[in-house]
Structure 1
Amino acid sequence: MSLSTLPLSYCTNVHPGKTIEEIASGLTSFTIPARQQLGDRIAAGLWLPASAIAQIQEHSAKVSQLQNVLQEGDLVCYTLNTFPYGNFHSERVKEQVYLPDWTTEERLAYTISCAHVLAELMPEGTEGSLSTVPLGFKGFQRPSDFDDQCIQNLLKLTEELDRLHDETGKVIRLAIEPEPLCVLETTPETIQFFEKLFSEADNQGHDQIARRHLGVCYDVCHQAVEFEETAKSIEDLTASGIRINKVHITCAIDVKNPWEREAARDQLKQFVEQRYLHQSFARSSNGIVSATDLSVELCENPPEEFRSADLWRVHFHVPVDAESVGELGTTRPELENALSAVAKLDYAPHLEVETYTWNVLPGERDIPLVEGLVGELRATRELLKRIGSD
């Protein structure tokens, strides 16, 4: 059994923060009070957008500002969310969150900069991780050599991470995060890409450092929304030699027999919102179909493939301590299955709760954010303790 003994991480992308000052304020206003209420040490999984990284590049003392806040709040930081590059709390994020993609110099340079910042923030004796976009979004036009361009940039990153390791003694691993309707979406697609990636790394004589520094961020609800069996998915990734560097502890919406339950569909309509993309999937006897985003039209007048389905799942992160949300179910059973599979690995991936949707959750706005965070963290600690003792 191998579950991380590091303090459980909570991703701070739930807090708006385009500048170091705003990020520090979020830690002071939410993360530190959550740590105090919980009574145990937690980790801040920082989200540092490109605007904050630019500040650090202009004024290196900005890193000290973050270090001071972390120290004062008795927080640690061993992982960064480098998925959202721009403003993750703008009025409309949707599919723009996947830009820039991994073919671009902007994505490569930003990730390298984040690695150097993390090397300064992370405690001695720990390894670090950076979660990142699943290469790009399938809905965007891509060149025929898209994968090859991504691979070349990822291998450039491994060279820099290897150099950083030589200079600092700190290992920082990239965690590519498969997501519904993205270039890396399903487990088979992810395995196929990594086979190509490692083959090219071997051709360049960099196989060892590529395997040390490159792996996946396993966001549990992403694969659950795809109707994958999460435990088998983790087993398949492991059997293919792909390291799970980070696990996002997440739950999504699950609606059983939706067309027979008007009240459930009425409640689901309340989750339609304009900021984030909520890829929606339906399972029927004819297979699995998808819609790019949740909409009122999908709930009221869905295509026949959705109408005849026995189960819908929607990529809308809901609190991980919730087995249901009103009339709607959640994918929490798949979370338990996934973490049980993670516990069987011979290494310990970083574990991070990542419910970034508190500000757009219908009916949850009356719950103070700190109280919500504490509920999730406490329930996750209890779940991990139970799994670890099995």
Structure 2
Amino acid sequence: MRLRHPSGTPLHLGYCTNVHPAEDLGGIIAQLDAYAVPIRAALGTGVLGLGLWLAAPVAAELAADPAPLRRLRRELDVRGMEVVTLNGFPYRSFHDPVVKQAVYHPDWTTSDRLAYTLDLARVLAGLLPDDAARGSVSTLPLAWREPWNAAMADAAARHLDELAAGLAGIESETGRTVRVGFEPEPGCVVETTAQAIAHLAGADTERLGLCLDLAHLACAWEQPSAALKALRAAGLPIVKVQLSAALETTHPEALREYAEPRFLHQTRTPAGDAADDLDEALERGLPAPWRVHYHVPLHADPAPPLTTTIPVLREALTELAGGPEPLCDHYDVETYTWSVLPPALRPATAADLAAGIAAELEFARTELRELGVTG
């Protein structure tokens, strides 16, 4: 959706399509009709923003051949969809029965991750609306934390330099600017904003910055105003914000029905206790309260005694979009866990899922409007 900050800066709000399983062009186009078209109708918006997830094979196909890329652009245009951001975190197979730590591979020590991200940037340059100022691609925070050593850090640094050079080349060829945001996540080399500042020191901040996922920020028990102040002081731009909420509770036993086999649900306490998955946290009996990396629908509160980190989201949005100038112009709702929610909470049909995503987007739009954003 096209929104406008009181300063006059356009803000783009959409939803991330990694919630859908398609990994080929035909499937991606089919999911537009199954989900995006009814979402746009429910919201009554002329243009719906999509944060497309393109698995590595289809990204390579689109980057290499202009014909399918033109086809995708046409299919988006005729349905009233636009794309200013891509999710480049999952490489492929994001809806396998078990994903867990596989989502962090290949990581930034590898040339495969570099090639995939540059393919996405080339694709995005061809999809950007003519009047969009720039595009963004989100990516993983270098790697899972283990193993990690000096040689791996050196390899990642070289690839980041090559990434910045490649993005500059794409801009020279196409006239379109695409930036890449590294997304801090619990358990990774870059888990916090402080670690992002340390690991991205010396990076080309014209083209590289942060993707700020608000559920991840909350799970790290970071205070949004302090985190954003530190990022500004370091000159590290926020190129994309993922609007997401995590689970929180002082009664961990109530989380048992959320333990599931597909995704990791890293669990953290304010005292620094940590588990890499919810099953592990329950077995170890970490002291409460807990925040759990489990993206839950923004608009729907879970049953007590569970709650969510929506207060952190609201505080962060106030910092990001409530000032005289926005700190970011790309906002993506990213609740990819609809299919693994406890059975009673899962959407039963495609129409149910579309309605849920539309409700999340309406929630996000309302929150931004409360800060003076229009549209």
Matched residue type, 1:109 = A
SS of aligned partner of 1:246: strand
Instruction: State the SS of the aligned residue for 2:206.
Output: helix
Match for 1:365 among 346, 351, 359?
346
Measured in 2, the distance between the counterparts of 1:129 and 1:215 equals 10
Percent identical among aligned pairs is 38
1:16 has 2:21 as partner: yes
Amino acid paired to 1:276: F
SS of structure 2 residue aligned to 1:78: strand
CA, structure 1 residues 4+93, in 2 after alignment: closer, same or farther (shift >3 Å)? farther
Counterparts of 1:342 and 1:151, CA distance in 2? 28
Aligned to 1:30: 35
Q: Give the secondary-structure state (helix, strand or coil) at the position aligned to 1:131.
A: strand
> Contact 2:63 / 2:69 at 8 angstroms: preserved in 1?
no
Q: Is the 8 A contact 1:178 1:185 kept in 2?
A: yes
Q: Distance in 1 between matches of 2:93 and 2:8?
A: 33
Q: What is the aligned partner in structure 2 of residue 379 from structure 1?
A: 363
Q: Is the 8 A contact 1:2 1:347 kept in 2?
A: no
Deviates more, 1:328-337 or 1:160-169: 160-169
Aligned mates of 1:277, 1:119 — CA distance in 2:
32
1:221-236 correspondence to structure 2 within 5 Å = 221-236=215-230
TM-score (ref. length: structure 1): 0.88
Mapped to 2, the partners of 1:231 and 1:349 lie a distance apart of 18
Aligned length: 361
SS of equivalent to 1:288: coil
Q: 1:241 to 1:57 in 2, by over 3 A?
A: closer
TM normalised by structure 2 equals 0.91
Task: Note the C-alpha offset of 1:113.
Answer: 0.9
2:100–2:262 CA contact under 8 A, matched in 1: yes
SS at structure 2 position matched to 1:247: strand
Letter in 1 for 2:206: R
Matched residue of 1:212: which SS? coil
**Residue 314 (structure 2) pairs with residue 333 (structure 1):** no
Deviation at 1:235, TM superposition (A): 1.6
Q: Which amino acid aligns with 2:144?
A: F
Counterpart of 1:201?
A: none
Q: Which amino acid aligns with 2:37?
A: I
Contact 1:179 1:185 survives alignment (8 Å) = yes
Q: 1:157, 1:124 → 2: CA distance?
A: 24
2:103 pairs with 97, 102, 107, which one?
97
Instruction: Give the alignment partner of residue 271 of structure 1, picking from 235, 258, 261.
Output: 258
- Residues in 1 aligned to 2:373 and 2:164: alpha-carbon distance in whole angstroms: 36
Secondary structure of 1:28's counterpart equals helix
Q: Which amino acid aligns with 2:362?
A: R
Distance in 2 (alpha carbons) for counterparts of 1:389 and 1:346:
10
Most deviating of 149-158 and 340-349: 340-349
Q: Which runs of 5+ in 1 are unaligned?
A: 199-209, 259-263
The 8 Å contact of residues 63 and 122 in structure 2, kept in 1 or not, is answered as no
Match of 1:5 in 2: 10
Structure 1 residue 118: Cα displacement: 0.5
- Where does residue 204 of structure 1 map in the other structure? none
Q: Please show how residues 29-68 of structure 1 align to structure 2 within 5 Å.
A: 29-40=34-45, 41-56=47-62, 59-68=65-74
Is 2:10–2:329's contact at 8 Å kept on the other side of the alignment?
no
State how far apart, in whole Å, the 1-side matches of 2:123 and 2:63 are: 10
For residues 222 and 130 of structure 1, the distance between their equivalents in structure 2, rounded to whole angstroms, comes to 17
- 1:239 deviates by 1.4
CA contact (8 A) 2:339 2:347 kept: no
Distance in 2 of aligned mates of 1:234 and 1:292: 26
CA distance in 1, matches of 2:55, 2:263: 17
CA drift of 1:100 comes to 0.6
1:92-131 correspondence to structure 2 within 5 Å = 92-126=98-132, 127-131=134-138
Q: 1:4 offset after TM fit, Å? A: 5.9
In the aligned structure 2, how far is the partner of 1:7 from the partner of 1:187?
Answer: 23
Residues 131, 246 of structure 1: 8 Å contact kept? yes
Q: Does structure 2 retain, via aligned residues, the 8 Å contact 1:4–1:350?
A: no
Question: Does 2:131 match 1:144?
Answer: no
